[in-house]
């Protein structure tokens, strides 16, 4: 079983913003993204999405959702904790 590395300075498994101590809200920004969406046209002329694929070609950054601090250095840990 792979052991997770807790972010530096953390005492629990929670990611905490070092700038404002936010431990709830975070967001990612990805550069150079290709989104391909497939739609089916209905009898009335409207469209219904069937599926969507996303390909990220550029850098991905992680930010605090409270103070907008760049916490990209925690991104690997963040990805490991998505269930």
pLDDT digits (tens, 9 = 90+) for 10-54: 556 899 999 999 999 999 999 999 999 999 999 999 999 999 999
Give the distance, in angstroms, between the CA of residue 37 and the centroid of all CA atoms in the same chain: 20
The answer as to whether 16 is a domain residue is no
Q: What was the pLDDT predicted at 46?
A: 96
- In the chain, the number of structural domains is 1
C-alpha gyration radius of the chain: 18
Q: What was the pLDDT predicted at 9?
A: 54
Range of the domain at 36: 28-80
The answer as to whether 10 is a domain residue is no
Specify whether the CB–CB gap between 61 and 28 falls below 8 A. yes
The answer as to whether 36 is a domain residue is yes
Specify whether the CB–CB gap between 71 and 18 falls below 8 A. yes
Mean pLDDT within 46-63: 97
Mean pLDDT within 52-80: 96
Q: Which of 24, 36, 26 is nearest to 79 (CA)?
A: 26
This prediction has a pTM of 0.71
What is the C-alpha separation between 83 and 76, in angstroms, rounded? 14
């Amino acid at each position: 079983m792979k052991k997770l590395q807790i972010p530096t300075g953390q005492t629990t498994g929670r990611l905490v913003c070092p700038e404002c101590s936010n431990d709830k809200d975070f967001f990612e920004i990805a550069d150079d993204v290709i989104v391909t969406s497939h739609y089916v046209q209905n009898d009335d002329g409207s469209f219904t999405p069937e599926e969507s694929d996303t390909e990220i070609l550029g850098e991905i950054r992680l930010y605090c959702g409270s103070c907008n601090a760049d916490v990209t250095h925690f991104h690997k840990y963040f990805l490991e904790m998505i269930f």
